[in-house]
A and B are shown apart, each in its own frame.
Chain A
Amino acid sequence: ELKVEQNPLFLSMQEGKNYTIYCNYSTTSDRLYWYRQDPGKSLESLFVLLSNGAVKQEGRLMASLDTKARLSTLHITAAVHDLSATYFCAVDDLNSGGSNYKLTFGKGTLLTVNP
């Protein structure tokens, strides 16, 4: 059974600081997703990482994937209040022949950015 672990689960940051959220998973997969969720809302797609060594950046967020270590990171640079949300990583439970779009999610990281 695929397991996905995120840490930390809670992260309180000051504006302007940098931090990294880690996502470890238990089985081979080269398809990893990061989502953002605001309170009471749905999941907003942030990044799709489709191969080993993939790195994607959007604004103050950068995500990377190391399939050999089974690890993805979401790095936050110079945090601002608007980044406050819950961030989820999710791994596609690939089987032979490609994806069946069956995501296993981490528990999420509740990020609070304080002024």
Chain B
Amino acid sequence: KAGVTQTPRYLIKTRGQQVTLSCSPISGHRSVSWYQQTPGQGLQFLFEYFSETQRNKGNFPGRFSGRQFSNSRSEMNVSTLELGDSALYLCASSFSGRIYFGPGTRLLVL
């Protein structure tokens, strides 16, 4: 089976812009979650979707949002980017207790 795919892999934006990241889970996995990794805060949970419904949300401001489509693909959006949003954004695909991470999108905000 193909693994979790994320696009784009690298992104450079400027403050105030918005960005959309995409994630395609492993075939058959209906749960997709997103994490932010920074050197200072480590790995933090953003949100999790299952069958197009957000089941859990982490402690991030409303500028961070996401959605899931009927084919289980997911997108996350960050509006009004701040310098502190520079991070590695990881998508995870889950099924039956197993959680697999994608390669990540590295976002740099200038």
Contacts and interface: CB of A to CB of B under 8 A. Distances in A.
Place the interface of chain A in its size category.
20 to 34
B45 A48 contact: no
Nearest to B101: A43
Contacts of B94: 99, 101
Contacts of A48: 97-99
Given A42-B104, A105-B42, A33 B99 contact: yes
Contact of A101 (B42, B90, B92): B92
A25 to B, nearest CB: 14
The 9 closest A-B pairs by CB, nearest first: A105-B43, A43-B101, A101-B94, A102-B56, A100-B56, A100-B55, A42-B104, A42-B103, A42-B101
Interface of A: 31, 33, 35, 41-45, 48, 50, 88, 90, 93, 99-105, 107-108
12 contacts: A42-B88, A45-B98, A45-B99, A88-B43, A99-B94, A100-B56, A101-B33, A101-B94, A102-B56, A103-B43, A103-B45, A103-B92
